Amino acid sequence: MSAAGPYGIPPGLKAGKPTIPRHHHYERDHTMSSVEAELNQSVAYTPLQRMRHSAAHVMAEAVQDLFPGARFAIGPAIEDGFYYDMELPRALTPDDLPAIEERMRASIQADHPFVRSKWPHDKALAYFREHDQPYKVEIIENLPDAEVGIYQQGPFLDLCRGPHVERTGQIGPVKLMRVAGAYWRGDEKRPMLQRLYGTAWPTQEELDAYLERLEEARRRDHRRIGKDLDLFMVSDEIGAGLPLWLPKGATVRRLLEDYIVGVERAQGYQHVYTPHLAKLDLYKTSGHWDHYHDSMYPPMEMESGEELVLRPMNCPHHIQIYKQKMRSYRDLPIRIAELGTMYRLEKSGELAGLSRVRAMTLNDAHIFCTPEQMLPEFIRVVRLIQEVYRVMGFEHYSYRLSLRDPNDKVKFVDNEAMWQQSEAALRQALDQLGLDYSIGVGDAAFYGPKLDVQVANVLGKDETISTVQIDFTLPERFNLEYIAEDGQAHRPVMIHRGVLSTMERFMAFLIENYAGNFPVWLAPVQAVVIPIADRHLDYAGQVADALRAAGLRVEVDSRAERMNAKVRDAQLQKIPYMLVVGDKEAASQAVSLRLRTNENIGAVPLAEFVAVAKRLNDERDQELWPASVAAQ
């Protein structure tokens, strides 16, 4: 008989949420440790999560059979599956997974009932001490309840609050996915455990479809594509989480920045530059140090005695610009924008390509307005987001109203009147927009509620790309004022907004969304001219010059390679257009057009190609080549 089992849901793994919070200001999810969560959170598993939670128990049973003496920590259901943290006599390898799966299937086929019972606190402690389960003992020692939950299936007994399916036979097809390391309680000073991940689905068809989605996600992984297309790199000499944008990736980033800055300037935003660091006192005033300090880099003490920190957010800097002089109601709204670089103290194991970094540049803006201007300004930002998404080709997105958890007085500013006022204002704005939205309790920023715009990623999961936040807190903390029509000083409202998120995360999302096949206007190289023989190099140069004169990005492939090899290489680089030129094309001032989709358009007059490609580029069209343009 063995002992193991989850006792609740670890933080960040609540039903229906991504495991990594993705907030506008890159705020870390300041939730409790996993064991604290076990003590305080009620479990509200869906039927599918209940089945996966039960599969975690069956997996622990199988591991115990194969590795006597295994010590178990926690094993919750998570999005799309489950895991179990355990201490084993040796490290698991991929070769171990089939044997564990086989034991799991045997338990499922045996159709054991899950039997629940309550044990007195002292009895549970004695049992798990006797069976050498120190992690379970530690959990029980911190439980305030007089009794603890025990579940048993067949010979396997487990500490667990539940819930479970009624019998092991109700668990659908299972697949073990991978093994990773995880510190006990997430503390680097505690033992490193092995975390075995698995998934379970009601039917084999659903499992197969999920595995295919994962395979598609691997094919689209921005880290692999970024390397293949020379978009970005990470250097050990510079440090993890500090990516270098290579020329092609920098081109895409610059195009995105030029686009969003142009759109914002047309809407009355004033762009600024502010320093990447500031006095620690600034963030104590804003509240970031109290609510966010474990995501900030340690202060640097100067010879003057001042303490400077790398900024985790841009808003305190923009507040100082607002406070530069006394403002009148006639000046408002003031829209301050910046592509502002911020820094986040991330653990090495949390870093991932461009999607999780330590230095990031946010498409940030803060609007200072009167209370009467608040709703029109909020609606104006939402309309801006909708237009940007149209240009980016995003069709599937939704809205989430992210609210505080009223019971959490630590993560969120404790100001009941402020929360009620700001949440009511957000609901009113969404009602005026006529938007359908979901509610995310506990997903607000520490200083106020926000609207999160969720865009489906390659796995069909929602990621927060854009956010809009109404803030009454920071204007109060920084004593912001404007002179109203009555000649008296009044407090402005502050709206925080980010449309493209950080450039790093947005680039990662775009790479995976497009699978590296950027639309023409974003492609780092839009066309490659391929001369058939050396005698065609002069004409190839003329073609390239004509494209460059139209503002298009073009290269000439003058390598001593066969034409088909050049075409294949261009397709692998996902270049939209391949322009093959030979004797006929030179004589008729044309190009033989091939698309990266392997479609052969044929001969197109050079002037016509330039005109069409320029239009698609200038209009930021998602279309690769119009079907209405007939090949000559």
pLDDT at residue number 448: 80
Average pLDDT of the residues in 146-162? 91
- 40 has pLDDT over 50: no
Clarify whether residues 506 and 538 are in a common domain: no
Average pLDDT of the residues in 600-617? 96
Higher pLDDT, 17 or 317: 317
Average pLDDT of the residues in 11-33? 30
Partners of 580 in the beta sheet?
530, 592
Q: Which of 512, 535, 554 is the last residue of a domain?
A: 512
Within-domain flag for 521: no
Look up tokens 């609740």; give the residue: 8
pLDDT band (50, 70, 90) for residue 629 = low
- 23 has pLDDT over 90: no
Q: Where are the alpha helices (DSSP H) in 67-164?
A: 97-110, 121-130, 134-141
Higher pLDDT, 10 or 361: 361
Clarify whether residues 278 and 312 are in a common domain: yes
Residue-wise pLDDT for 122-149, tens only, equals 999 999 999 999 999 999 998 887 889 9
Clarify whether residues 407 and 371 are in a common domain: yes
Start-to-end CA distance of the chain, whole Å, equals 78
Average pLDDT of the residues in 65-69? 93
Clarify whether residues 458 and 541 are in a common domain: no
Sheet holding 590-595, edge to edge: 554-556, 527-531, 577-581, 590-595, 600-605
Residue-wise pLDDT for 330-372, tens only, equals 999 999 999 999 999 988 878 889 999 999 999 999 999 999 9
pLDDT band (50, 70, 90) for residue 36 = very low
**DSSP state for residue 297 in the 8-state scheme:** P
pLDDT at residue number 593: 97
One-letter amino acid for residue 117 of the chain: S
Clarify whether residues 197 and 263 are in a common domain: no
Q: How many angstroms separate the CA atoms of 142 and 336, rounded?
A: 49
Clarify whether residues 389 and 465 are in a common domain: yes
Contacts of 395-399 with C-beta under 8 Å, sequence gap 24+, read 396/455, 396/456, 397/453, 397/454, 397/455, 397/456, 397/465, 398/436, 398/437, 398/438, 398/453, 398/454, 398/462, 399/430, 399/435, 399/436, 399/437, 399/438, 399/451, 399/452, 399/453, 399/454
Burial of 113 (0-12, 13-18, 19+ CB in 10 A): middle
Clarify whether residues 469 and 599 are in a common domain: no
Q: Which of 488, 512, 536 is the last residue of a domain?
A: 512
Could you tell me the CATH number of the domain that includes residue 125? 3.30.980.10
Within-domain flag for 493: yes
Residue-wise pLDDT for 212-225, tens only, equals 999 998 999 999 99
pLDDT at residue number 44: 63
Within-domain flag for 232: no
pLDDT at residue number 461: 80
pLDDT at residue number 20: 28
Tokens of 236: 């050990």
Whether the CB-CB separation of 168 and 115 falls below 8 Å is answered with no
Cα-based torsion angle of the residue sequence 468, 469, 470, 471 in order, rounded to the nearest 10 degrees = -150
- 632 has pLDDT over 70: no
Within-domain flag for 627: no
Tell me how many domains the chain contains. 3
pLDDT band (50, 70, 90) for residue 13 = very low
Q: Where are the alpha helices (DSSP H) in 287-415?
A: 288-292, 315-322, 371-392
- 237 has pLDDT over 60: yes
Clarify whether residues 215 and 264 are in a common domain: no
List C-alpha distances in Å: 597 to 327, 572, 614, 624: 56, 10, 20, 9
Within-domain flag for 258: yes
Within-domain flag for 84: yes
Whether the CB-CB separation of 525 and 555 falls below 8 Å is answered with yes
pTM above 0.75, yes or no: yes
- Kind and range of the H or E element at 496? strand 493-502
Residue-wise pLDDT for 445-493, tens only, equals 777 888 999 998 877 788 889 999 888 889 999 999 999 999 999 999 9
Domain that holds residue 581: 527-618
121-130 and 134-141 helices, crossing angle to 10°: 160
Residue 79, SS3 per DSSP: coil
Q: In whole angstroms, what separates CA 278 from the centre of its chain?
A: 27
Phi, psi of 614, rounded to the nearest 5 degrees: -65, -40
Residue-wise pLDDT for 265-301, tens only, equals 999 999 999 999 999 999 999 988 987 888 899 999 9
Within-domain flag for 236: no
Clarify whether residues 497 and 602 are in a common domain: no
pLDDT at residue number 29: 31
Clarify whether residues 503 and 539 are in a common domain: no
Within-domain flag for 26: yes
Q: Which of 195, 220, 245 is the last residue of a domain?
A: 220
Whether the CB-CB separation of 185 and 73 falls below 8 Å is answered with no
Clarify whether residues 62 and 12 are in a common domain: yes
Clarify whether residues 97 and 191 are in a common domain: yes
Whether the CB-CB separation of 432 and 424 falls below 8 Å is answered with no
Residue-wise pLDDT for 566-575, tens only, equals 999 999 999 9
pLDDT at residue number 225: 96
- Kind and range of the H or E element at 203? none
Average pLDDT of the residues in 513-540? 96
Could you tell me the CATH number of the domain that includes residue 609? 3.40.50.800
- Kind and range of the H or E element at 212? helix 204-220
Could you tell me the CATH number of the domain that includes residue 496? 3.30.930.10
